Chains A and B, each alone.
Chain A
Amino acid sequence: MAKILFINPVVREEDVPRHIPYGIALLAAIAMKKGHLVQVYDANAHRLPIETIIEVCQADDWDAVCIGGLTTTYNYIKKACKLIKESAPNAQLIAGGGFLTSMPHEIFEWIPEIDVGCIGESFETFPEVLAKIDNKDFNYADVLGVIHRDLTGKSFLTNVRPNIKDLDTLPWPAWELFPLDIYFANSANLFSEESFTSKRRMDINGSFGCGLTCKYCWHLGTTGDMLVEENEHGDNDVVFTYGRNIRYHSADYIVSMVKHLHDKYDIDFAAFIDENLMTMDVASKGTWLKDLCNKWIEAGLQPTCRQKGIPHDENCKGVHWNGTSHAGLHRPETLKLMFEAGCTHLVYGLESFDPTVLRNLGKGSNARKNKQSIATCLASGIKPIPNIIIGFPEESFESVRNTIEALVELGITAKPHFATAYPGSEWYYAYKDSIMEQYDNDLEAYIMDLGDASKITATISHEFSPMQLLGLQQIVYLKDLRLLDLSEKHWAPVQHELSPMIQPKLSFNLKTVKEAGPLAS
Chain B
Amino acid sequence: MSDLLKGNFTTKKQVSAPSETANEDSLETKFKKAALNSIGGSMVYVERTDLTWDGEE
Contact = CB atoms under 8 A, between A and B. Distances in A.
Is this pair of chains taken from one and the same complex?
yes
Interface in A264-296: none
Contact of A178 (B6, B14, B22): B6
Given A56-B4, A59-B5, A39 B11 contact: yes
Given A46-B23, A60-B13, A52 B4 contact: yes
Contacts of A177: 6-7
A66 to B, nearest CB: 13
Nearest to B13: A59
Contacts, number: 57
Given A40-B5, A177-B6, A48 B21 contact: yes
Given A38-B8, A61-B12, A178-B6, 10 more contacts: A37-B7, A37-B8, A39-B9, A40-B5, A40-B7, A41-B15, A46-B22, A48-B22, A52-B4, A59-B14
Nearest to A49: B21
Interface string A10-41: 00000000000000000000001000011111
B17 interface: yes
A61 B14 CA distance: 13
Contacts of A179: 6
Interface string A38-73: 111110001111001001101111000000000000
Chain A, interface SS category: mixed
B15 A59 contact: yes
B41 interface: no
Contacts of B13: 58-60
A176 B6 contact: yes
A182 interface: yes
B6 A60 contact: no
Contacts of A55: 15
B45 to A, nearest CB: 15
Main secondary structure of the interface of B (DSSP, over half): loop
A46 B4 contact: yes
Nearest to B3: A179
Given A39-B7, A182-B23, A59 B2 contact: yes
Nearest to B33: A14
A60 B8 CA distance: 13
Interface string B1-43: 0101111110111110110011100000000000000000000
A46 B17 contact: yes
Interface string A228-250: 00000000000000000000000
A47 B9 contact: no
A56 B5 contact: yes
A58 B4 CA distance: 13
B18 to A, nearest CB: 7
Nearest to A6: B7
B11 A59 contact: yes
In order of increasing CB-CB distance, the 6 nearest A-B pairs are A39-B7, A60-B11, A59-B11, A177-B6, A59-B13, A39-B5
A177 B14 CA distance: 16
Nearest to A28: B7
Contacts of B4: 41, 46, 48, 52, 56
19 contacts: A37-B7, A37-B8, A38-B7, A38-B9, A39-B6, A39-B11, A40-B5, A40-B6, A48-B4, A48-B22, A49-B21, A52-B4, A52-B17, A56-B15, A58-B13, A59-B13, A60-B13, A61-B12, A176-B6
A440 to B, nearest CB: 24
B23 A60 contact: no
B43 to A, nearest CB: 17
A5 B15 CA distance: 13
B19 to A, nearest CB: 12
Nearest to A62: B11
Nearest to B25: A47
Nearest to A1: B9
